[in-house]
Structure 1
Amino acid sequence: MRPSAAQIGQRDRLHETVSARLEERILGGDLQVGDKLDSESAIAREFGVSTRAVREAIQTLVTKGLVARRHGAPTTVVRQDVGEFLDTLAVSVRQRLSSDQSYLEELMAARRMIETEVLGMLCGRPDPIAAPVTEALVAMRKARDAADFPGFVNADAAFHLALVHSAGNRILSIMYDNFAALINEVIQLSSRVLSKSLEDAYDEHAEIYDRVRNRDGAGAVTLVRAQIDHSATRLRIAIEKTRTEEKRDG
């Protein structure tokens, strides 16, 4: 005899309940990556459901990428943490960049969102400047004095990374860390279109530093937003220049 609609609905609710409870344990850390789930029969006894409901619940978790199961082996938690997930995301973005360079501009927009949010957080503190921010600015000054363009660009990227890290928000830091290499490449590429001297570039960062140190959030945000927008403009020019050169050489 075929199950009624009511019976099917009840079974669905049972497996959804089991799935939700197991997901809470995984995301909450009670079940760590590499841990084995109990047998289907043990889970069924715990929740007072059929083993069929448990199998359906586990399949839901498999679909979400939270667990993996192989024939004859226990079901294993495979959830990646936020950092690993975003690292994979960064790789995906990099792959898209190779075929659609407009992604570079979208990366700049994401960078602007993170950095301006961070500035607001920092300027609300009694001591908003962390040592790595100062160290990066010093490195920029030394690179400026030595006319070391590559060194200056690397210190530039380190300055912005240090600002994000000093906010102490782990999620923002993880996000920025995983895209830091891409952002550095963007800075390198956009810097090929020279529109300012190293002296002017240093002074710009020094002013941002002073605004943050003095807890002038609005002023710091305005400067950083303008800096990133200007970099995006230079980026478009650099991309177009590269395309023109490729067409000419091809």
Structure 2
Amino acid sequence: MSNKVQVPRISDAVAASLERRILEGSLKPGDRLAPERELAAEFGVSRPSLREAIQKLASKGMVQSKQGGGTYVTDSLNSTFFDPWRDMLGNHPNLREDMLEFRHMLEGQAASWAAERATDADLQRLEQTFSALRDAFASDDTEKRSAADIAFHQAIGDAAHNALLGHMSAALLRLMHDNIRLNLGELKGIPAASSLLMSQHESIYKAIAERKPQAARAAAETHIDFVRETLAQSLRSAARRETAERRLNTEFSPSLSV
């Protein structure tokens, strides 16, 4: 048996470091890697070794070079989950309830872990996303509200410091982007819904900032429960209105008159 110590290749070590940044969310889908010269200097390696490391990641589908220059992080870790469910969500509206039920479980745990594990940088990001969310809810722009809502919840998912949960949260929120926008649009028509939603988000934010895991979980679950129940009521009201309108149109249709 050989007693030789296996020394890792420089390119393998660099590839592993970059891969770790992608897994932990420091490098997100769409992010451009720093220029080759800067990265080589940061890692203290030669440019050929850096190129070899990047090629290793490219062979895994984690990064790709784009025409015009630059290497970018792909969404390969999320797309395998996202693509088939996006079509099914559009074709089967009842999946909205299942998605909200799953969010109840996922986001309750994420908020609890975030309250335990968030770093100062995580809390700073959470404060920024909460402030942006508050500004968005002060406007009447549903698209702006939706984007701010997603950013806030993703900040919580990242602050949980669980790579799998962070990527699953990103995939789920990306999947539900149109659904969240639709939910917020429907909730806008319900009196006091906006102020209640903002109050719920504030409760989640404060519980995490104050390092209260149980309170953070409860606040996140309460928020999702409110959305589920309020949307259910809204959809039932819409169904009743449609039924009443059909009856009215049928009763007064000229073709049915005596």
Q: Quick check: TM above 0.5?
A: yes
Seen in structure 2, the aligned counterparts of structure 1 residues 107 and 154 have a Cα distance that, compared at 3 Å, is: same
Deviations 1:64-101 (A, max 9, x none): xxxxxxxxxxxxxx9777x6364133221122223322
Q: SS of 2:127's equivalent?
A: helix
Find the partner of 1:106 among 92, 98, 103.
98
Q: Could you tell me which amino acid in structure 2 is paired with residue 116 of structure 1? A: G
What residue in structure 2 maps to residue 220 of structure 1? 216
Seen in structure 2, the aligned counterparts of structure 1 residues 80 and 137 have a Cα distance that, compared at 3 Å, is: same
State the shift of 1:133 in Å. 1.4
Q: SS of 1:130's equivalent?
A: helix
What residue in structure 2 maps to residue 189 of structure 1? 182
Matches within 5 A, 1:91-130: 91-125=83-117, 127=119, 129-130=122-123
RMSD: 3.3
What residue in structure 1 maps to residue 155 of structure 2? 162
What residue in structure 1 maps to residue 229 of structure 2? 233
Q: SS of 1:168's equivalent?
A: coil
Q: Conserved in 2, the CA contact under 8 Å of 1:147 and 1:198?
A: no
State the shift of 1:170 in Å. 1.6
Aligned length: 174
Deviations 1:99-155 (A, max 9, x none): 322211111122222211112222223747532211111112222344544423321
State the shift of 1:219 in Å. 1.3
Q: Conserved in 1, the CA contact under 8 Å of 2:119 and 2:159?
A: no
Identical aligned pairs, as a percentage?
20
Q: Conserved in 2, the CA contact under 8 Å of 1:186 and 1:235?
A: no
State the shift of 1:201 in Å. 2.5
What is the TM-score normalised by the length of structure 2? Answer: 0.56
| Structure 2: gaps of 5 or more residues | 1-14, 16-58, 63-74, 247-258
Q: Could you tell me which amino acid in structure 1 is paired with residue 212 of structure 2? A: D
Q: Conserved in 2, the CA contact under 8 Å of 1:189 and 1:235?
A: no
State the shift of 1:211 in Å. 0.9
What is the TM-score normalised by the length of structure 1? Answer: 0.57
Deviations 1:200-220 (A, max 9, x none): 322221121111111111111
User: In structure 2, what is the Cα distance between the partners aligned to 1:97 and 1:147?
Assistant: 26
Q: SS of 1:215's equivalent?
A: coil
What residue in structure 2 maps to residue 208 of structure 1? 204
User: In structure 2, what is the Cα distance between the partners aligned to 1:150 and 1:209?
Assistant: 22
What residue in structure 2 maps to residue 135 of structure 1? 128
